[in-house]
Amino acid sequence: MKIITTGGRGFIGSHFIELCLSRGYSVVDIDFMGYCSNKKLPFDNHPKYQHIHQDICSIEHLPACDVLVNFAAETHVDNSINDTKPFVHSNIIGVHNLLEIIRGKNGYERPLFVQISTDEVYGDRSDGEFVENDSLKPSNPYAATKVAAEALTLSYHRTYGIDFLITRSSNNYGERQYEEKLIPKTIKCVVDGKKIPLHGDGSYVRDWIYVKDNAEAILTLIESGKKNDIYNIGSGNRIKNIDVVTEIIGWYNADPASSIQFVPNRWGQDVRYALNTDKINSIGWYPKHPKGIYKWFN
């Protein structure tokens, strides 16, 4: 199987590429090397890996492939609140450009288009779980651009017959995650002896999934031949932000009382995320890593 990834120098994409290469697949990655991209990765010299340094918004040609997995995106909610334009550019215009290129191919040359989305498209809920056919109610500009990307994908399937998958994953964590996200930021603050900023009173709940489990879920869907459908990917690992931070502080034997600084809520703060994963579980995928915040390093 020949796979194209976009944004594969980033966090989730790089783990997906590692998994694909370990299974013998060829991967061409299109990544314009933004601020979150990894300059060096373990597979840089792998004979079945190629990096194309281009922006998905301006690329005009896609090499022949069986599957295109779009990881390329601006993802940090706080950044989207401060400046929406990069999010519209990458998350909407970029997806539109990729779909247009696929549309221009002969039917037998068109790859399966896999759009990597997020649980944030649903908004939040105080109890219960989101299922794939629930209404989408994004709370912030980042989530809104991901909803728009999903809508484009669905419309190109309906109008032009492009085959697709959409995955909506919960909060990822693990090695190579950029330090603006909660877990790597907490680790860096503790190591540097700085206060850890925590929104509100820290009671907001997120469902955490180890990044390698998410990569495995995406590849499982592709290998299973699934198409023209939407799948939640989560672990049922729902933890308050303050408990996540306290757990990490404990790794370093630091004092939670003196390590945390509560800061005002971000605008449009979501209270709780919770995904129902019965659909993907029904094809045999389950997370392999333990609940809680799995300590992936010594």
**How confident is the model over 47-104, as pLDDT tens digits?**
999 999 999 999 999 999 999 999 999 999 999 999 999 999 999 999 999 999 999 9
Q: Which of 25, 122, 142, 156 is catalytic?
A: 142
At residue 190, the pLDDT reads: 96
The SS3 call for residue 157 is helix
- 142 classed as catalytic: yes
The SS3 call for residue 290 is coil
The alpha carbon of residue 276 and the mean position of all alpha carbons in its chain are separated, in whole angstroms, by: 17
At residue 150, the pLDDT reads: 98
CATH class of 2-173+209-236+274-281: alpha beta
Burial of residue 276 (CB within 10 Å: 0-12, 13-18, 19+) is middle
Instruction: State the angle between helix axes of 141-160 and 94-103 in degrees (0 to 180), rounded to the nearest 10.
Output: 10
The SS3 call for residue 86 is helix
Q: Which of 120, 150, 213, 216 is catalytic?
A: 120
Residue 274 confidence (pLDDT) above 80: yes
CA dist 92 → 105, 120, 287 (Å): 21, 16, 30
Which of 149-156's residues contact partners 24+ apart within 8 Å by CB, and which partners? 149/91, 149/92, 149/95, 149/115, 149/117, 150/115, 150/117, 150/121, 150/230, 152/92, 152/95, 152/96, 152/99, 153/95, 153/99, 153/113, 153/115, 156/99, 156/102, 156/103, 156/113
Q: Which residues of 132-162 are buried (b: 16+ CB within 10 A; e: fewer)?
A: beeebebbbbbbbbbbbbbebbbebbeeeeb
- 120 classed as catalytic: yes
- Rounded average pLDDT over 268-290: 97
Output the average pLDDT for the chain: 97
User: Terminus-to-terminus CA distance in the chain, angstroms?
Assistant: 35
CB 140 within 8 A of CB 268: yes
CB 115 within 8 A of CB 95: yes
DSSP 8-state code for residue 294:
-
Q: Which of 29, 55, 119, 150 is catalytic?
A: 119
At residue 298, the pLDDT reads: 74
- 156 classed as catalytic: no
What single letter denotes the amino acid at residue 161? G
- Rounded average pLDDT over 219-245: 98
Closest listed residue to residue 193, CA positions, set 263, 264, 262, 258? 258
pLDDT digits (tens, 9 = 90+) for 115-126: 999 999 999 999
What single letter denotes the amino acid at residue 198? L
Residue 139 confidence (pLDDT) above 90: yes
